[in-house]
Amino acid sequence: MSAAAPKATTSVDRYRSLFDARPLPDNALTQWRRAAFERFAAIGLPTQREEDWKYTNLRRLESRQFTPATPAPVATDESRWIANAGARIVLANGHALASLSTVSPQPPGVTLLTLGQWIANSPEQVAEFLQKQRRDASSFELLNAAFLEDGVVIDLADGARFDQPIYVIHQMGPGNGMSHPRIFVRCGRNSACTLVEHYIGAADSETLTNSVVSLDLAQGAKVAHYRLQQESSRSFHIGTVHAHLDRDSRYACRDIALGATLARTHITATLAGPGAEATLQGLFAPSGTQHLDTYTLVDHAAPHTLSNEEYRGVADGRGRGVYRGKVIVRKDAQKIDSRQSSRNLLLSPTAEIDTRPELEIYANDVKCSHGATTGQLDSTALFYLRSRGLSEDEARGLLIRAFAESILSTIELEPLRQHLEQQLNERFASSEARA
């Protein structure tokens, strides 16, 4: 306690000097940012004493000095982008680059603009909108609010459909910049869209990405959300996702974490209306000294809601994978069906997996189950493949890919799936050479 307290103040101080150094106009938005910063300063960065951060030590992050990333064009690495993934929006170091974005004329009822544009046009309106948002709770959300500059706003009117996926590239680096992008998705009744977020970092950059995505699904809306995290191997990634689901809406999130030295994703899905359904699927594959942490919270706040969750982890080298999945069933939220599974593979004697599937249930007419396993590759399956002439490496690679396949196969976007398959093939082929 006594050791952690002064450390936290120093990192808060560092952020404060960055905050104070920013030239901000005197308006409602600035007030909102300042209030958020003060709340952040009061609580500081989380420590391992907090249950939510039990397995993730932020010392590595705290000791780093980041500079607010500039809107200056960065060395974009277009070869790493997913081709034909949809209407492209590039956030370079957290700032939208119109020159690289390919947003075609939008169908009626669809509003797609960058947060930066909106702030430039009507900061009062943005401030008013932000005030009405769910109050940010965590340190990192508050930090994001304080340093908020740019992001994406997607607004769908009732019945509107965005026929293409919206492909947001978060391109970071080089250098040690930090970016705090925010994405708002508001879906009217029976509207539908697909959001792909791709986090890419330039090699050797030591950046911090602290993104917040909030999705609001009205009755009958449908959102498919893909998160592909491929930050540079020395960078930090904190991602917060809040999805609020009204009656009969559907939210599906596929969360793939491959990059960053330390990454934490926090996904909350609140099922607020009967018939709402949330599907959370994810894959995290720490290797080297990576630390990949995922925390999902499914909150069944209304009766007759459905959730399905499957996370898989593959830890190699000295990598550490952390998964915590919490399911809450509120009082009187009867007729709930909830399933959750966490399966993990340990490939090296120095890797570690910590998993916590949790159920918190306050209603009785529910069907909730969870399962978790951690183990190594099945030796009989390996033997089978070896006996058919595959080399040890090939056999292992094949089995690991098969393990990951159950998450990959749920990805309906063909270009994204192909991109991922290629990434994973490379990843696991190289990991085998080391192992």
Partner 1 sequence: MSSNPQTDPALEALVGQKYRHGFVTDIESDTVPPGLDEDVIRLISRKKSEPEFMLEWRLKSFRHWLTMREPHWAHLRVAPIDYQGISYYSAPKSKANAPKSIEEVDPKLLETYDKLGIPLHERARLAGVAVDAVFDSVSVATTFKERLAKAGVIFCSFSEAVRNHPELIERYLGSVVAYTDNFFATLNSAVFSDGSFVYVPKGVRCPMELSTYFRINAANTGQFERTLIVADEGSYVSYLEGCTAPMRDENQLHAAVVELVALDNAQIKYSTVQNWYPGDEQGRGGIYNFVTKRGECRGANSKISWTQVETGSAITWKYPSCILTGENSVGEFYSVAVTNNYQQADTGTKMIHIGRNTRSTIVSKGISAGHAQNSYRGLVKILPSATNARNFTQCDSLLMGDQCGAHTFPYMEVRTPTASVEHEATTSKIGDDQLFYCLSRGISEEDAVNMIVNGFCKAVFKELPMEFAVEAQNLLAVSLEGAVG
Q: Which residues of this protein are in contact with partner 1, per CB under 8 A?
A: 51, 55, 331-332, 334, 344, 346-376
Closest CB to partner 1 among residues 160, 322: 322
**Least distance to partner 1, CB of residue 374, Å:** 4
Beta carbon of residue 332, minimum distance to partner 1 (angstroms, whole number): 7
Nearest approach, Cβ of 356 to partner 1 (angstroms)? 5
Strand, helix or coil for residue 405:
helix
- Mark 369-387 as b/e (b = at least 16 C-beta within 10 Å): ebebebeebeeeebeebee
CA 204 to chain centre: 22
Task: Please say which residue, 55 or 403, places its beta carbon nearer to partner 1.
Answer: 55
Question: Which residue type sits at 431?
Answer: S
Under 8 Å CB-to-CB from 93, ≥6 apart: which residues?
Answer: 69, 70, 71, 72, 74, 171, 172, 173, 177, 179, 207
**In the complex, minimum distance from the CB of residue 316 to partner 1, in angstroms, rounded to a whole number:** 9
3-state percent breakdown (helix, strand, coil) of the chain, nearest 5: 30, 40, 35
Nearer to partner 1, 128 or 358 (CB): 358
Tell me how crowded residue 332 is: count the other CB atoms within 10 A of its CB. 12
Q: Which is nearer to partner 1, 369 or 391 (CB)?
A: 369
CB of 428 to partner 1, least distance (A): 15
Q: Give SS3 for 19.
A: helix
Q: Which is nearer to partner 1, 78 or 332 (CB)?
A: 332
Least distance (Å) between residue 371 CB and partner 1: 5
Structure-block tokens of residue 5: 């307290």
- Which lies closer to partner 1 via its Cβ, residue 350 or residue 391? 350
Cβ distance to partner 1 smaller for residue 26 or 51: 51
Distance of CA 410 to the CA centre of its chain: 17
CB of 367 vs partner 1, minimal distance in Å? 6
Q: How far is the CB of 359 from partner 1 (least distance, A)?
A: 4
What's the CA dihedral at 17, 19, 21, 22 to 10 degrees? 170
Is the backbone peptide bond immediately before 181 cis, with ω within 30 degrees of 0?
no
Judge whether 166 and 193 are in contact, CB under 8 Å: yes
Nearer to partner 1, 18 or 363 (CB): 363
- The CB-of-52 to partner 1 minimum distance in angstroms stands at 12
- At residue 401's C-alpha, the angle toward residues 398 and 407, to 5°, is 155
Instruction: Please choose, from the candidates 323, 331, 322, the residue with its C-alpha nearest in 3D space to the C-alpha of residue 299.
Output: 331
Task: Give the residues across from 282 on adjacent strands.
Answer: 255, 311
Comparing CB distances to partner 1, the nearer of 11 and 340 is: 340
What is the three-class DSSP state of 279?
A: strand
